[in-house]
Amino acid sequence: MPPVIILGVFLAYSILLFIIAGVTGRKSNNATYFTGNRNSPWYVVAYGMIGASLSGVTFISIPGEVGNSAFSYMVLVLGYLLGYAFIAGVLLPVYYGRNLTSIYTYLRQRFGNRTYKTGASFFILSRSIGSSFRVFLVVNVLQIFVFDAWNLPFILNVGIFMSLILLYTFRGGIKTIVWTDTLQTTFMLAAVVVSSIMISRELGLSFTGMIREIESSQYSKMFFTEINEKRHFLKQFVSGAFIAIVMTGLDQDMMQKNL
């Protein structure tokens, strides 16, 4: 794909994000910025959380994980459902019932200011590290497919990308994030469909032919029953439940949209 098309898609998506930020950020105050006045449609929040819990890292790395551990990753995903049920039935009533602005406010109410600051500090640290890796991946993709083709330096790429992030942060709030997460989910699912179609065409396979190839592949195995196997389905399922609770239910970024 020509670099100009990739850059055009990136810029069009960025402009769309800023338009959404401008529309949703009108007449906003502190309450709107942090909680969206608690009137975001639940189905929009739920749909948007699909994309919010994923990233370009997921899109690129999961096919590689299938190469390493076959389809056992899907059992991990099924475990997420149990974790999300715990979040909906236990954690959300606690957060919402106390009318919290931040989930870490609960730590202050329950355990004191020191625990509150410790929890918030660990969130900031972990989020900074995780987001840095995600930004690094995206910037590298842009560098390889766009900027290198025009002999533009990496530092220029990083500067443009970080400037867009800062502008979006100052303009947007939680109400903006709810709708941009919805947009992100839609585009990510569309990317999966388009990628699957393009791959099947390159391989000369129809949709049913591609399904048959997957079924006959050694990588399609989902359930491993050997007790000493690290991919044992019970280990994967339980791990998925705890991952969902920790990375979603106890994560400020993910849960803020539900408050």
Residues 6+ apart with CB under 8 A from 59: 188, 191, 192
Q: Please state, in angstroms and rounded to a whole number, the distance separating the CA atoms of residues 210 and 196.
A: 9
Those residues whose C-beta lies under 8 Å from the C-beta of residue 115, and which sit 6 or more positions away, are: 107, 108
Task: Give me the amino acid identity at 204.
Answer: G
Lowest-confidence segment of 52-66, 141-155, 176-190, 212-226 by average pLDDT: 52-66
As given in the structure block, the two tokens for residue 210 are: 């591609």
**Tens of pLDDT along 170-210?**
766 777 888 888 888 898 889 889 988 988 999 888 888 88
Tens of pLDDT, residue by residue over 231-248, are 889 999 999 999 999 888
Residue-wise burial string across 134-152, b where 16 or more C-beta atoms lie within 10 A, e elsewhere: eeebbbeebbeebbeeeee
Element at 135 (helix H, strand E): helix 113-142
Burial track 157-194 (b if 16+ CB lie within 10 A, e otherwise): bbebbeeeeeebeebbbbbbbbbbbbebbeebeeeeee
Of 101 and 197, the one with more pLDDT: 197
- Asked if the model's pLDDT at residue 145 lies above 80, the reply is yes
Q: Which two tokens stand for residue 188?
A: 């990510």
**Average pLDDT across the chain, whole number:** 85
Question: What pLDDT sits at residue 85?
Answer: 94
pTM for the full predicted model = 0.76
Among 218, 209, 196, 181, CA closest to 69: 218
pLDDT-derived band of residue 130, with 50, 70 and 90 as boundaries?
confident
Kindly state the tokens that stand for 203. Answer: 């391989």
Which pLDDT does position 191 carry in this prediction? 86
pLDDT in tens, 23-57: 876 766 666 666 666 777 888 888 888 877 777 77
| Across 19-28, 37-46, 70-79, 150-159, least confident range | 19-28
Query: CB-based contacts of 123: which residues, under 8 Å, 6+ apart?
Result: 104, 251, 252, 253
Domain segments of the chain as ranges: 3-258
Task: Mention every residue, 6+ apart, whose C-beta is less than 8 A from residue 208.
Answer: none
- The residue count of the chain comes to 259
pLDDT-based confidence at residue 78 (cuts at 50, 70, 90): very high
